[in-house]
């Protein structure tokens, strides 16, 4: 595949409702999309950064910079036989996993279309249907959270994850567990606690949680290895894991029993596949995390979630939970049993709504291989 051109755009999209985590509130998303042209075929990728460096160190603007000044000039004009050959070319650029993932994933979409296959099959996916959970933001009071949980359960979602932070944890958990004693429940702290809070975190054990996600520092695997033996609840790492080497260290040191794989955070489909292989070999369950994506990122998440290691429900849910109108057609829909059917169309398997994308776009930059510049 000869990479003929790359277009980078920034879209403004407003979430239907503000989403609160331990690090802040998000409603107005600044979403970057990559449109890649190779051998006459167009593929799409999404950069899953947030607007501020509060989840990890990347932002919409750092990704714009890295793609504009380094990644796009490097990839345009390259000739590769498969998208999996792209990551080694990007290796000289340190970090910036989400920026790289957006570029690599667009090429995976191209490759799947060229081979006349759904992307999920090209990746090696084995499940035609993926199971879905929801991630619920921190709310004003426990009663309103209970009401929200009830709504999501009535839509069929198979697992409820509650965002928590100090002062808004045990009280909210107690309220939800009292009303729903048997649901599959987990919590996500986004690094809001410290190892010295181990006695407090041990109190979560009585709520029979599927997992506690990323309780400690975003970049510290060792502190989680010290915490896990002190609590019964399984630790799941999110922020800490950027590649297969990290996940080997985390599992071997006992820092986690479950892994959240985010396609952007690990740098794209090639790395995500390696991370899930490492976990599967060690019998560690994985699931697909979310970053409040538009339909393009969501479609990539669905494809990844069909890989055999993804045995737990992910944070991949219906488009309508996020957007009044998604940028793909049809929007992602979740069935009454809380599942999404992997699409049969080639590539992502959803149509990208260019007209809507154009309307939402606030800036664009394009690179074209010199050999095609005049065409």
Q: Does 20 bind ligand OSB (CB under 6 A)?
A: no
Dihedral sign of CA atoms 115, 131, 11, 191 in order: negative
Per the listing, tokens 């490759």 go with 111
- Find which of Mg ion, ligand OSB, none residue 294 binds, CB within 5 to 8 Å per kind: none
**Residue 47 CB contacts under 8 Å (≥ 6 apart), including other chains:** 31, 32, 33, 34, 60, 63, 67, 98, 99, 101, 102, 264
**Residue 191 CB contacts under 8 Å (≥ 6 apart), including other chains:** 22, 23, 214, 215, 216, 217, 218, 239
Single residue of 149, 291, 303, 360 touching ligand OSB by CB under 6 A = 291
361: number of Cβ within 10 Å: 15
Q: Does 20 bind Mg ion (CB under 5 A)?
A: no
Q: Does 315 bind Mg ion (CB under 5 A)?
A: no
Q: Does 238 bind ligand OSB (CB under 6 A)?
A: yes
Q: Which span (10-18, 120-128, 288-296, 341-349) binds ligand OSB, by CB under 6 A?
A: 288-296
Q: Does 215 bind ligand OSB (CB under 6 A)?
A: no
- Our answer to whether residue 163 is catalytic in this structure is yes
Q: Which is nearer to ligand OSB, 95 or 137 (CB)?
A: 137
Ramachandran assignment for 162, one of left (phi > 0), alpha (psi -120 to 50 degrees), beta (any other): beta
Q: Which is nearer to ligand OSB, 290 or 313 (CB)?
A: 290
- Find which of ligand OSB, Mg ion, none residue 118 binds, CB within 5 to 8 Å per kind: none
Cα 343 from chain centroid (whole Å): 19
- Our answer to whether residue 283 is catalytic in this structure is no
Write down the catalytic residue from 100, 148, 161, 163. Answer: 163
Q: Which is nearer to ligand OSB, 113 or 306 (CB)?
A: 306
Structure tokens at 347: 């590539």
Binding site for Mg ion (CB under 5 A): 188, 213, 238
Binding site for ligand OSB (CB under 6 A): 21, 55, 135, 188, 190, 238, 289-292, 315
């Amino acid at each position: 595949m000869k990479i003929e051109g790359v277009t980078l755009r920034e879209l403004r999209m407003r979430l239907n409702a503000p989403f609160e985590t331990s690090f802040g509130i998000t409603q107005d998303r600044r979403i970057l999309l990559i449109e890649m042209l190779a051998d006459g075929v167009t593929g799409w990728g999404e950069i899953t950064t947030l607007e501020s460096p509060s989840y990890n160190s990347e932002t919409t603007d750092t990704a714009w910079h890295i793609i504009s000044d380094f990644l796009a000039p490097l990839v345009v004009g390259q000739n590769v036989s498969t998208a999996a050959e792209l990551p080694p070319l990007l290796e000289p650029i340190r970090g910036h996993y989400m920026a790289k993932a957006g570029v690599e994933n667009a090429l995976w979409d191209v490759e799947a279309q060229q081979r006349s296959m759904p992307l999920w099959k090209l990746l090696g996916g084995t499940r035609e249907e993926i199971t879905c959970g929801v991630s619920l933001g921190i709310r004003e009071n426990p009663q309103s959270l209970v009401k929200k949980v009830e709504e999501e359960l009535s839509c069929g979602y198979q697992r409820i994850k509650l965002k928590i932070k100090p002062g808004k944890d045990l009280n909210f958990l107690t309220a939800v567990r009292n009303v729903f004693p048997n649901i599959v429940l987990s919590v996500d702290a986004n690094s809001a606690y410290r190892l010295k809070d181990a006695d407090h975190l041990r109190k979560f054990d009585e709520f029979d949680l599927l997992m506690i996600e990323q309780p400690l520092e975003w970049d510290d695997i060792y502190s989680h290895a010290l915490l896990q033996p002190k609590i019964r609840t399984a630790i799941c790492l999110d922020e800490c894991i950027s590649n297969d080497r990290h996940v080997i260290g985390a599992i071997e040191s006992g820092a986690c029993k479950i892994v959240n794989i985010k396609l952007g955070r690990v740098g794209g489909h090639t790395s995500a596949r390696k991370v899930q292989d490492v976990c599967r070999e060690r019998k560690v369950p994985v699931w697909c995390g979310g970053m409040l994506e538009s339909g393009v990122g969501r479609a990539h998440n669905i494809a990844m979630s069909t890989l055999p290691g993804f045995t737990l429900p992910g944070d991949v849910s219906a488009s309508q939970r996020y957007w009044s109108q998604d940028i793909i057609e049809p929007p992602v829909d979740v069935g009454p049993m809380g599942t999404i059917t992997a699409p049969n169309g080639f590539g992502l398997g959803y149509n990208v709504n260019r007209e809507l994308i154009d309307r939402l776009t606030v800036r664009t930059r394009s690179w074209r291989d010199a050999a095609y510049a005049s065409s």
